[in-house]
Amino acid sequence: MPSSLSHVYLSVGSLDDARRLYVDLLGLEVLIDGGGYVRIGGGGGFHMGRKSLYSRALLVELARHGWVCISANYRLRPRAVFPDYVVDAKKVIAWARRHAEEYGADPSVVFVAGSSAGAHIAATAALTQNDGVFQPGFEEADTTVAGAICLFGYYGPVDRGRQPLPSSPFDYVRPDAPPVLVAHGELDALVPASQARALADRLREVSTSPVVYAELPGGPHNFDLFHSIRFEILIDGIEAFTAWVRSQDAPRASEERRVEPRRGRRPIRTLAPRRAHPPRR
């Protein structure tokens, strides 16, 4: 069964305002050829949220299949301001790559993921790999990722008027972006699915890597808080996506496909790379 540990990964702030951020490690006692999966703390509009609330079913399932899963907090508003959130995520990625072998994981196969505001952070971190602007004090650290997984994310600008940097993932889309999976609920009442579709479309226009978009029929915001049939299907898709990225150099083309639901549910429409889902046995 998976076991959970906690580790301090960095201290932030001045001497009179020092704080620590923590990561939870979820994995198996013995790992063989495992990968690393970094999940950045959940939503809350960058104001609130805890790493322990979101995607627990996904983390446990990946851990059962040999992944070392890291769930991390990040600094919050009002004391933090963009790009502090991304800097924190990159600290975790660098830590994961540096310590992966200690936990039986492959340091060259690290995925970053996030939900809601965390999806914004995960996408921006993935699109700014090894960019010194987002790595103050650790510019030489390797923050490359094998792929990014973004769930019901907000992808617009943040903290406008408080800092001068472009602050939307759209601002950092680049040809050498890693493979990205974007999933959103059809009935999300907080962030319209059209924003997630627009990000996936923009990535497909610019990036040479595969992009997977999944829109969950009837899905709300925060669909990863509880077990549901739609989330179980998405977990299967995320497992297939990560396994496929690890198994080969991604082809540079995409095709429409359907993820057939269980128990009579409507299918999830996705845009997935060819051969992204190996045949089940």
Q: Across residues 200-222, what is the average pLDDT? A: 95
Least confident of 1-5, 40-44, 52-56: 1-5
pLDDT tens sequence across 19-33? 444 455 554 333 333
Segment 167-191 shows an average pLDDT of: 97
- Give the domain ranges of the chain: 3-273
In the chain, % of residues over pLDDT 70: 69
Q: Give me the helices (H) in 108-259, please.
A: 117-127, 193-206, 229-247
Task: Work out the average pLDDT over 220-229.
Answer: 85
CB neighbours of residue 271 within 10 Å: 19
Q: If 0-12 CB within 10 Å is exposed, 13-18 middle and 19+ buried, where does residue 1 land?
A: exposed
Give the pairing of strands 19-27 and 147-151: unpaired
Q: How far is CA 202 from the centre of its chain?
A: 18
Instruction: Name the phi and psi angles at 172, rounded to 5.
Output: -120, 10
Q: Catalytic site residues?
A: 116, 188, 221
Q: Are 129 and 178 in contact (CB under 8 A)?
A: yes
- Annotate the chain with DSSP letters as a single string: --EEEEEEEEEES-GGG-EEEEEEEEE-SS-SSEEEEEEE---STTT---TTTS-HHHHHHHHHTT-EEEEE----TTT--TTHHHHHHHHHHHHHHHHGGGGTEEEEEEEEEEETHHHHHHHHHHHTTT-GGG-TT-TTS----SEEEEES---S--SBTTB-S--SGGGG--TTPPPEEEEEETT-SSS-HHHHHHHHHHHHHH-SS-EEEEEETT--TTTTSS--HHHHHHHHHHHHHHHHHHHSPPPS-EEEEEEPPSTTPPPEEEEEETT-SPPP-
Min mean pLDDT across 45-49, 80-84, 199-203, 275-279 is at: 275-279
Measured between alpha carbons, how far is 88 from 40 in angstroms, rounded to an integer? 9
Which one of 3.40.50.1820, 3.40.50.720, 2.130.10.10, 1.10.3720.10 gives the CATH number of domain 3-273?
3.40.50.1820
- Residue 265 pLDDT level (bands cut at 50, 70, 90): very low
Predicted pLDDT of residue 268: 45
Q: What is the pTM of this model?
A: 0.79
